Structure 1
Amino acid sequence: MVAAFMHSLLIPIQSELPDLLHASREDSAWVITITLLVSAICVPISGRLGDMYGKRTVILVLLGLLTAGSLVCALSDSLLPMIIGRGLQGVGMGVIPLGIALLHDVMPENRVNVAVSLVSATLGVGAALGLPVGAIITAIGDWHILFWVSAGLCITVLVLCLLVLPTEGIRSGGRFDYVGALGLAVCLTALLLVLSNGNQWGWAAWQTLVLSGCGLLVFVMWGWYQLRRREPLIDVRVSLRRPVLMTNLASIAMGFALFASHITFPQLLSLPESAGGLGASLLVASVTLMPSGLAMLAMSPISGRLMDRVGPKSLLILGAATIAATYIVALLVPTTIVSIAVINAVLGAGIGLGYAAMPTLVMRSVPDSETAAGNGLNTLMRALGTTAASAVIAAVLAQSAHTSHTGYPTGGGFQVALLLGCIGGMVSIALAIFIPSQKRFPSPVAAQEPQRSLSEKEITHV
Structure 2
Amino acid sequence: MGAPAPQLTARPGPVIATLAFAGTTAAVMQTLVTPLIAELPQILDTSSSNAAWVITVTLLVAAVCVPVVGRLGDLVGKRRMLLACSVPLVVGSVVCAFASDVVTMIVGRGLQGMGMGMVPLGIALLRDVVPVEKLSGSIALVSASMGIGGAIGLPLAAAVAQYANWRVLFWGSAALAAVVAVLIFTLVPDVPAGAKGQRFDLPGAIGLGAGLVCLLLAVSKGADWGWGSATTLGLFAAAVVALAGWGVWEVRTTDPLIDLRTTARPRVLLTNVASVFVGFGMYASMLVMPQLLQFPEATGYGLGQSMLAAGLWMAPGGLMMMLVSPLGGKLTNARGPKFTLICGALVLAVGYFAALALLGSAWGVMLVTIITSSGVGLAYGSMPALIMSSVPLTETAAANAFNTLMRSLGTSVGAAVIGVILAQMTTTVGGHTFASEDGFRTALLVGGGLALVSAAIAAVIPAARTTESGTEDTDPAPEPAQAKV
Q: Which range, TM-score by smaller chain?
A: over 0.9
- Note the C-alpha offset of 1:91: 1.0
Q: In the alignment, is the contact (CA less than 8 A) between 1:101 and 1:371 conserved in 2? A: yes
Whole-angstrom distance in 2 between the partners of 1:176 and 1:310: 38
Instruction: Identify which of 378, 381, 404 aligns with 2:403.
Output: 378
Report the equivalent of 1:86.
109
Q: Which amino acid is the alignment partner of residue 447 of structure 2?
A: G
- Note the C-alpha offset of 1:319: 0.4
Residue 317 (structure 1) aligned with residue 371 (structure 2): no
- Note the C-alpha offset of 1:333: 3.0
Report the equivalent of 1:409.
435
Report the equivalent of 2:244.
220
Report the equivalent of 1:418.
444
Report the equivalent of 2:98.
75
- Note the C-alpha offset of 1:353: 0.5
Q: Which amino acid is the alignment partner of residue 36 of structure 2?
A: I
**1:285-318 CA-partner distances (Å, limit 9, x unpaired):** 1111112211111111111111100100000000
Report the equivalent of 1:427.
453
Whole-angstrom distance in 1 between the partners of 2:267 and 2:469: 16
**1:8-52 CA-partner distances (Å, limit 9, x unpaired):** 011011111011011111111111000011111111110000001
- Note the C-alpha offset of 1:332: 2.5
- Note the C-alpha offset of 1:440: 4.8
Q: In the alignment, is the contact (CA less than 8 A) between 2:390 and 2:471 conserved in 1? A: no
- Quickly say closer, same or farther: Cα 1:37–1:120, change in 2 above 3 A: same
Report the equivalent of 1:9.
32
The secondary structure found in structure 2 opposite 1:226 is helix
- Note the C-alpha offset of 1:280: 0.7
Residue 258 (structure 1) aligned with residue 285 (structure 2): no
Report the equivalent of 1:459.
none
Structure 1, 400-409 or 141-150: larger mean CA deviation: 400-409
Q: In the alignment, is the contact (CA less than 8 A) between 2:90 and 2:174 conserved in 1? A: yes
Q: In the alignment, is the contact (CA less than 8 A) between 1:31 and 1:86 conserved in 2? A: yes
Report the equivalent of 2:51.
28
Gaps of 5+ in 1: 447-462
Q: In the alignment, is the contact (CA less than 8 A) between 2:76 and 2:193 conserved in 1? A: no
Report the equivalent of 1:233.
257
- Note the C-alpha offset of 1:170: 4.2
Q: In the alignment, is the contact (CA less than 8 A) between 1:272 and 1:279 conserved in 2? A: yes
The secondary structure found in structure 2 opposite 1:290 is helix
Q: In the alignment, is the contact (CA less than 8 A) between 1:170 and 1:368 conserved in 2? A: no
Whole-angstrom distance in 1 between the partners of 2:140 and 2:452: 22
Whole-angstrom distance in 2 between the partners of 1:311 and 1:445: 15
- Quickly say closer, same or farther: Cα 1:313–1:445, change in 2 above 3 A: closer
Report the equivalent of 1:452.
none
TM-score scaled by length of structure 1: 0.94
Residue 278 (structure 1) aligned with residue 303 (structure 2): yes
- Quickly say closer, same or farther: Cα 1:367–1:441, change in 2 above 3 A: farther
Report the equivalent of 1:194.
218
- Quickly say closer, same or farther: Cα 1:437–1:170, change in 2 above 3 A: farther
- Note the C-alpha offset of 1:259: 0.4
- Note the C-alpha offset of 1:175: 0.7
Report the equivalent of 2:65.
42
- Note the C-alpha offset of 1:163: 0.3
Whole-angstrom distance in 1 between the partners of 2:139 and 2:112: 23
Q: Which amino acid is the alignment partner of residue 265 of structure 1?
A: M
Q: In the alignment, is the contact (CA less than 8 A) between 2:358 and 2:368 conserved in 1? A: no
TM-score scaled by length of structure 2: 0.90
Structure 1, 138-147 or 164-173: larger mean CA deviation: 164-173
Q: Which amino acid is the alignment partner of residue 145 of structure 1?
A: V
Residue 339 (structure 1) aligned with residue 364 (structure 2): yes
What pairs up with 1:172-183 in 2 under 5 angstroms?
Answer: 172-173=195-196, 174-183=198-207
**1:216-248 CA-partner distances (Å, limit 9, x unpaired):** 011111100100011000001101110011000
Whole-angstrom distance in 2 between the partners of 1:5 and 1:410: 30
Q: Which amino acid is the alignment partner of residue 329 of structure 1?
A: A
Q: Which amino acid is the alignment partner of residue 203 of structure 1?
A: W
- Note the C-alpha offset of 1:203: 1.1
Residue 164 (structure 1) aligned with residue 187 (structure 2): yes
- Note the C-alpha offset of 1:444: 9.4
Residue 122 (structure 1) aligned with residue 148 (structure 2): no
The secondary structure found in structure 2 opposite 1:148 is helix
Whole-angstrom distance in 2 between the partners of 1:139 and 1:382: 31
Q: In the alignment, is the contact (CA less than 8 A) between 1:365 and 1:441 conserved in 2? A: no
Between the two proteins, the alignment pairs up a number of residues equal to 446
The secondary structure found in structure 2 opposite 1:172 is coil
Residue 288 (structure 1) aligned with residue 313 (structure 2): yes
Whole-angstrom distance in 2 between the partners of 1:113 and 1:383: 22
Report the equivalent of 1:350.
375
- Note the C-alpha offset of 1:130: 1.7
Whole-angstrom distance in 1 between the partners of 2:71 and 2:91: 22
Whole-angstrom distance in 2 between the partners of 1:403 and 1:145: 37
Residue 146 (structure 1) aligned with residue 169 (structure 2): yes
Gaps of 5+ in 2: 1-23, 473-485
Q: Which amino acid is the alignment partner of residue 397 of structure 1?
A: L
Whole-angstrom distance in 2 between the partners of 1:199 and 1:343: 28
- Quickly say closer, same or farther: Cα 1:403–1:226, change in 2 above 3 A: farther
Q: In the alignment, is the contact (CA less than 8 A) between 1:28 and 1:79 conserved in 2? A: yes
Q: Which amino acid is the alignment partner of residue 170 of structure 2?
A: F
- Note the C-alpha offset of 1:129: 1.6
The secondary structure found in structure 1 opposite 2:414 is helix
The secondary structure found in structure 2 opposite 1:300 is helix
The secondary structure found in structure 2 opposite 1:407 is strand
The secondary structure found in structure 2 opposite 1:408 is strand
Whole-angstrom distance in 2 between the partners of 1:234 and 1:56: 20
